[in-house]
């Protein structure tokens, strides 16, 4: 067993080598997402080792057993007895183990200096050589004439690392580029009080809990929240291993505690009482009675029967109302989980946005194209680094196609994408091209916004994008309905051979004139 002083020296040396390995990894210019992610995991492992060595140094410095002080005193003595005793122990070890190979510790850290992409390029270059050139290269390497640039070098990335990376992510996550909330979406739809939303809509609102009724936040809802939080924390560990998750959680906890004390947690404000909240407020937990009116409830709270029941429960439970305390603790735990999920979503806003864009793009693909994309994902395509100059040339600001490149100009003109239309009802959303603009009047977004205005999204409102115009038209329609029975000439619709829709009177006039 090494001495305590030697253990301290070895720990200091290991920390220095580990720190240098982290620096060697950080300065490598990697362009592939797969390589960058594996590098981050390696750096995280090295940092964990540094923390382990630092804890060992701290424990040795505290010297609770007193052995370090005794060893230091023995080394400080003027006699050579301790020196010869240690020298004899070293000699005895090598006599018992004469064939032990000595490996330099520097060799274990050389791999962190080698760039895996350079090694792959060198490997492809060697495979492209002819047999004679490969034999000559091998002869140079055997004779020691090679400078090492053409010899396959060990890198920080192994096949086991790539296998673990493939298993860690699902196909939808694409090695941490996107989030995969399909399972959470299914659990949300089964939760009480949940709205029927598509997966794309769920990605935009999964961190918005204000619309969910408080009375529906029961055990199943708490289980759904716990699963959502667990997935996001696991995604941080898999896709962002260098992200300081504990620090974010501590900061969020401090902000939540302050907001909860002031009653300012979103969705849990005391003033925001619903009908269910009023019913809960008019419930007497000690007497287990529900009251319909506030006056009756207040009279009961001042009655002697209620006071006797409360006194009896306080004597049995030590002065606490267990039902109320348990309910308050459960609500606080749910509110904390919602607050934490909302904070995680803020950190992952860019990846969630990329996920929504990817889901929209994949919806336009056929099943065969989606399967082909998953198969081709195994072939890693080099991504452009952030500082590269050869960005996509798009001077006309053409829309991007499904392949990430600008669409052809003739297709741009064919669909009339140069004309833009905005819809005030949809929050001033801008649509490129008449076709997309006309189609959006039948989509869920426009229908929902019309319903919020109290207007049915019928055919006569198609083409109306202004809120004032829609409200004026709806007022006129209601006025005509109140004025008398509907005229068949006005409200019956006819369609010509080209698909144009007219009322009965206009259709007959045009047909009589031979225009249709």
Instruction: Specify which of 31-35, 115-119, 308-312 reaches the highest per-range mean pLDDT.
Output: 31-35
Q: Per-residue pLDDT tens for 236-248?
A: 999 999 999 999 9
Average pLDDT over residues 133-145: 55
- Which DSSP letter does residue 209 get? -
Average pLDDT over residues 260-267: 82
Q: Per-residue pLDDT tens for 497-511?
A: 887 888 888 888 888
- Which DSSP letter does residue 284 get? E
Locate the domains of the chain by residue range: 4-114, 176-285+321-356, 393-484, 486-516
Q: What is the pLDDT of residue 14?
A: 92
Q: How confident is the model at residue 314 (pLDDT cuts 50, 70, 90)?
A: low
- Which DSSP letter does residue 112 get? G
> H/E/C letters for each residue in 215-266?
HHCCHHHHHHHHHHHHHHHHHHHHHCCCCCHHHHHHHHHHHHHHHHHHCCCC
Partnered with residue 422 across adjacent β-strands are 430
Q: Return the residue matching tokens 């990335």.
A: 157
CA separation for the pair 281, 270 (Å, rounded): 11
CA separation for the pair 206, 188 (Å, rounded): 9
Is the pLDDT assigned to residue 281 strictly greater than 70? no
Phi, psi of 186 (to 5 degrees): -65, -40
Answer yes or no: are the C-beta atoms of 172 and 180 closer than 8 Å: yes
Q: How confident is the model at residue 214 (pLDDT cuts 50, 70, 90)?
A: confident
Among 202-211, 336-345, 463-472, name the one with the lowest average pLDDT. Answer: 202-211
- Which DSSP letter does residue 375 get? H
Residues making up the chain, counted from first to last: 516
Is the pLDDT assigned to residue 41 strictly greater than 60? yes
Q: What is the pLDDT of residue 318?
A: 53
Among 77-86, 203-212, 371-380, 433-442, name the one with the lowest average pLDDT. Answer: 371-380
Of the candidates 442, 409, 410, the one whose C-alpha atom is nearest the C-alpha of residue 426 is 442
Answer yes or no: are the C-beta atoms of 219 and 326 closer than 8 Å: no
Average pLDDT over residues 19-33: 90
Among 56-60, 380-384, 475-479, name the one with the lowest average pLDDT. Answer: 380-384
Average pLDDT over residues 209-227: 84
Q: Where are the alpha helices (DSSP H) in 348-487?
A: 349-363, 367-376, 409-414, 434-440, 444-452, 467-483
| Residues contacting residue 205 through CB under 8 Å, at least 6 positions apart | 197, 211
Answer yes or no: are the C-beta atoms of 133 and 139 closer than 8 Å: no
Helix 322-347 and helix 349-363: axis angle, to 10°? 70
Evaluate the CA torsion angle 300, 303, 309, 315 in order and state its sign: positive
Q: What is the pLDDT of residue 199?
A: 92
Q: Per-residue pLDDT tens for 181-212?
A: 999 999 998 887 788 889 999 999 898 887 77
Q: What is the pLDDT of residue 115?
A: 84
Partnered with residue 423 across adjacent β-strands are 429
Phi, psi of 421 (to 5 degrees): -130, 135
Is the pLDDT assigned to residue 346 strictly greater than 90? yes
Q: Which two tokens stand for residue 407?
A: 């669409």
Q: Which two tokens stand for residue 76?
A: 């400080």
Mean pLDDT of the chain: 81
- Residue 372, CB half-sphere, CA atoms under 13 Å: how many? 5
Average pLDDT over residues 49-64: 90
Average pLDDT over residues 493-497: 82
Q: Per-residue pLDDT tens for 163-188?
A: 888 889 988 888 899 999 999 999 99
Q: What is the pLDDT of residue 364?
A: 79
CA separation for the pair 123, 115 (Å, rounded): 12
Q: What is the pLDDT of residue 270?
A: 65
- Residue 436, CB half-sphere, CA atoms under 13 Å: how many? 15
Q: What is the pLDDT of residue 31?
A: 87
Phi, psi of 470 (to 5 degrees): -65, -45
Neighbouring C-beta atoms of residue 260, cutoff 10 Å: 16
CA separation for the pair 97, 159 (Å, rounded): 34
- Which DSSP letter does residue 274 get? -
Q: What is the pLDDT of residue 111?
A: 87
Answer yes or no: are the C-beta atoms of 435 and 457 closer than 8 Å: no
Is the pLDDT assigned to residue 406 strictly greater than 90? no
Instruction: Specify which of 255-269, 309-323, 387-401 reaches the highest per-range mean pLDDT.
Output: 255-269
Q: Which two tokens stand for residue 420?
A: 């833009």
Q: How confident is the model at residue 18 (pLDDT cuts 50, 70, 90)?
A: very high
CA separation for the pair 449, 41 (Å, rounded): 45
Which is more confident, 142 or 406?
Answer: 406
- CA distances to 131, 460, 468 from 452, in Å: 74, 18, 14
Answer yes or no: are the C-beta atoms of 241 and 44 closer than 8 Å: yes
Give the percent of the chain with pLDDT over 90.
Answer: 25
Q: What is the pLDDT of residue 104?
A: 80
Q: What is the pLDDT of residue 46?
A: 93
Q: Which two tokens stand for residue 322?
A: 């267990």
Secondary structure of residue 283 in the 3-state scheme: strand
DSSP structure string for 425-450: TTTSEEEESHHHHHHHTTSHHHHHHH
Segment (H or E) for 346 = helix 322-347
Q: What is the pLDDT of residue 132?
A: 52
Is the pLDDT assigned to residue 387 strictly greater than 50? no
Q: How confident is the model at residue 351 (pLDDT cuts 50, 70, 90)?
A: very high
CA separation for the pair 209, 217 (Å, rounded): 10
Q: Which two tokens stand for residue 65?
A: 């057993």
């Amino acid at each position: 067993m090494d001495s305590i002083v030697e253990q301290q020296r070895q720990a200091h040396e290991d920390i220095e080598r580990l720190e240098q390995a982290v620096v060697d990894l950080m300065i490598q210019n990697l362009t592939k997402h797969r390589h960058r992610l594996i590098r981050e995991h390696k750096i995280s492992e090295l940092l964990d080792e540094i923390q382990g060595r630092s804890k060992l140094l701290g424990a040795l410095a505290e010297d609770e057993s007193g052995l370090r002080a005794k060893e230091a005193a023995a080394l400080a003595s003027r006699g050579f007895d301790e020196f010869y005793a240690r020298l004899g122990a070293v000699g005895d070890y090598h006599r018992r183990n004469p064939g032990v190979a000595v490996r330099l510790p520097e060799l274990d850290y050389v791999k962190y200096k080698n760039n895996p992409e350079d090694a792959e390029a060198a490997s492809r270059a060697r495979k492209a050589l002819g047999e004679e050139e490969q034999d000559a290269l091998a002869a140079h390497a055997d004779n020691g004439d090679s400078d090492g640039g053409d010899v396959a070098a060990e890198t920080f990335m192994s096949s086991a690392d790539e296998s673990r990376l493939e298993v860690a992510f699902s196909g939808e996550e694409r090695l941490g580029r996107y989030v995969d909330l399909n399972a959470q979406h299914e659990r949300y739809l089964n939760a009480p009080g949940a709205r029927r939303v598509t997966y794309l809509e769920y990605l935009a609102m999964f961190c918005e809990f204000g619309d969910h009724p408080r009375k529906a936040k029961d055990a199943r809802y708490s289980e759904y929240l716990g699963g959502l939080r667990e997935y996001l924390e696991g995604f941080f560990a898999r896709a962002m291993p260098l992200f300081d998750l504990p620090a974010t959680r501590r900061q969020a906890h401090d902000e939540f505690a302050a907001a909860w004390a002031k009653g300012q947690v979103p969705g849990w404000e005391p003033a925001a009482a619903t009908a269910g909240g009023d019913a809960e407020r008019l419930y007497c937990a000690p007497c287990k009675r529900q009251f319909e009116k506030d006056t009756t409830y207040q009279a009961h709270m001042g009655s002697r029967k209620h006071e006797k029941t409360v006194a009896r429960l306080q004597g049995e439970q030590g002065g606490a109302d267990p039902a109320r305390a348990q309910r308050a603790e459960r609500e606080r735990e749910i509110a904390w989980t919602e607050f934490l999920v909302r904070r995680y979503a803020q950190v992952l806003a860019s990846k969630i946005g990329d996920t929504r864009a990817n889901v929209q793009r994949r919806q336009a693909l056929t099943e065969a194209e989606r399967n082909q994309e998953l198969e081709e994902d195994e072939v890693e395509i080099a991504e452009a680094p952030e500082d590269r100059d050869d960005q996509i040339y798009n001077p006309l600001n053409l829309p991007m196609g499904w392949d990430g490149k600008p669409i052809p100009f003739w297709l741009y003109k064919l669909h009339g994408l140069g004309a833009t239309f905005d819809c005030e009802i949809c929050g001033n959303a801008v649509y490129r091209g008449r076709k997309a603009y006309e189609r959006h009047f039948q989509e869920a977004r426009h229908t929902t916004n019309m319903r919020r205005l109290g207007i049915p999204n019928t055919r006569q409102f198609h083409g109306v994008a202004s809120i004032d115009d829609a409200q004026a038209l709806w007022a006129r329609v209601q006025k005509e309905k109140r004025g008398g029975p509907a005229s068949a000439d006005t409200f019956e619709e006819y369609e010509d051979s080209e698909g144009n829709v007219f009322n009965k009177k206009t259709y007959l006039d045009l047909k009589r004139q031979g225009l249709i």
